[in-house]
Homo-oligomer: A and B are copies of this chain.
């Protein structure tokens, strides 16, 4: 019987045929003997995290796969990002994610990440605690150029647009309400005032004058986006009775773990970049099995390399991941190993797509099928058939003998 589980998500793993690879995908073309051996001893299938024909975001796909219906628990990226940097939302709060960026005196975007500035804490501490029209702004640094923002006050709403225009050489957007409620209008107004006031503060800081002298982009604007409201989210432990640990390099994925009340493990060398120490993450996952029932491991770079349109490096990264996966070849008998992805990131699209991704369930209780390779088309012939993200946790719980009976 299976008692513990590792869920391993390779972000953006799936892809489309690459001409230079003879029409194979990067995963199909990559030499992945360890993954193939796992697939050979597993029940395989293919999956779209949100369902057929839906193109998943990174946040919604992870919520769905972890069994939290995005329609119920998701109201924007903000609450997840701020959870990831250790902030706790209260009822009525609106949360946003932000980048420290660079704008000119006409509020036109020069750089969305202030030259990929590495630490924004000298800037966020100048803004943290500001009040505008009775709304308090709680602002904390994230990794590198990132920051989390909580708006705390009466009558706020997350039904607002982004200030961040997501492109260069255009003016900062004015935040607009997206519904007719007075709360949305008020929130947009307060946020626009805050952005103006914070620009006035940031542009005159010694810190930025020094950056200008060093010919670095000044970090003079907090580009906010992804407003979301507080929602009550039962923890993973409450929901499933499983103590859970999250091993991820990327802030969003730590955020997902924190949002669901998982322990967040910092693994040295886990960078969310192609240089990440995957082996260290897998080793940590095995260690964590001693203290936790469920280990969520996130590996980011295949997604980024897909977004770069770089099949060669995506393939190389997957081969590196496969080598690291040797660490997982001697898992204890009572451990279920699930490997999949949140979505495809086809190199030709340089973005997420709705193409299904492979999924494998390996462990003593599964009905091993005749799939012998870990790849999109190989796993599509697996015993599970097509599933959605919302089916993953029930299948894990089913194999662990932990599902509720419906009826009698």
Residues in chain B near residue A407, CB distance under 8 A: 56-61, 70, 74, 77
A72 CB-CB contact with B under 8 Å: no
The answer to whether B58 and A398 touch across the interface, beta carbons within 8 angstroms, is no
Known: A353-B401, A377-B367. Contact between A387 and B52, CB under 8 A?
Answer: yes
A34 CB-CB contact with B under 8 Å: no
A93 CB-CB contact with B under 8 Å: no
Please give me the residue from chain B that is nearest to A80 by CB atom.
B408
The docked-state distance in angstroms from the alpha carbon of A27 to that of B269 is: 48
A319 CB-CB contact with B under 8 Å: no
A354 CB-CB contact with B under 8 Å: yes
A391 CB-CB contact with B under 8 Å: yes
The answer to whether B385 and A1 touch across the interface, beta carbons within 8 angstroms, is no
A interface size (C-beta, 8 A): 59
A92 CB-CB contact with B under 8 Å: no
A36-51 CB contacts (< 8 Å) to partner B: 46, 50
Residues in chain B near residue A376, CB distance under 8 A: 367
| Residue in B59, B352, B386, B398 whose beta carbon sits within 8 Å of that of A385 in the complex | B386
Residues in chain B near residue A349, CB distance under 8 A: 1, 401
A331 CB-CB contact with B under 8 Å: no
Residues in chain B near residue A74, CB distance under 8 A: 407
The docked-state distance in angstroms from the alpha carbon of A15 to that of B36 is: 25
Closest-CB distance, A74 to chain B (whole angstroms) = 7
The docked-state distance in angstroms from the alpha carbon of A301 to that of B61 is: 42
Known: A23-B368, A366-B16. Contact between A352 and B57, CB under 8 A?
Answer: no
The answer to whether A398 and B226 touch across the interface, beta carbons within 8 angstroms, is no
1/0 per residue, CB under 8 A from B, across A347-358: the answer is 011011111000
Known: A226-B408, A377-B367. Contact between A394 and B16, CB under 8 A?
Answer: no
A350-408 CB contacts (< 8 Å) to partner B: 351-355, 364-370, 376-377, 380, 383, 385-388, 390-391, 393-395, 397-398, 401, 403-408
Most chain B C-beta atoms within 10 Å of own C-beta, residue among A55, A76, A365, A368 = A55
Residues in chain B near residue A405, CB distance under 8 A: 55-57, 351-352
The answer to whether A380 and B383 touch across the interface, beta carbons within 8 angstroms, is yes
A33 CB-CB contact with B under 8 Å: no
The docked-state distance in angstroms from the alpha carbon of A77 to that of B387 is: 31
Count identical subunits in the complex: 2
Residues in chain B near residue A355, CB distance under 8 A: 367, 398
The answer to whether A394 and B348 touch across the interface, beta carbons within 8 angstroms, is no
A25 CB-CB contact with B under 8 Å: yes
A54 CB-CB contact with B under 8 Å: yes
A171 CB-CB contact with B under 8 Å: no
The answer to whether A53 and B380 touch across the interface, beta carbons within 8 angstroms, is no
A346 CB-CB contact with B under 8 Å: yes
Residues in chain B near residue A54, CB distance under 8 A: 394, 403, 406
Residues in chain B near residue A165, CB distance under 8 A: none
The answer to whether A53 and B395 touch across the interface, beta carbons within 8 angstroms, is yes
Closest-CB distance, A391 to chain B (whole angstroms) = 5
The answer to whether A55 and B1 touch across the interface, beta carbons within 8 angstroms, is no
Given contacts A53-B391, A59-B407, A354-B403, 13 further A-B contacts (CB under 8 A): A1-B349, A17-B368, A52-B394, A53-B390, A53-B398, A55-B405, A57-B407, A58-B408, A76-B408, A354-B398, A369-B377, A369-B380, A380-B383
What would be 23 A-B contacts, judged by CB atoms less than 8 Å apart? Answer: A1-B349, A16-B365, A16-B366, A17-B366, A23-B368, A46-B385, A52-B387, A52-B395, A53-B393, A54-B394, A54-B406, A55-B405, A59-B408, A61-B407, A74-B407, A354-B395, A354-B398, A355-B367, A355-B398, A367-B376, A367-B377, A369-B377, A386-B386
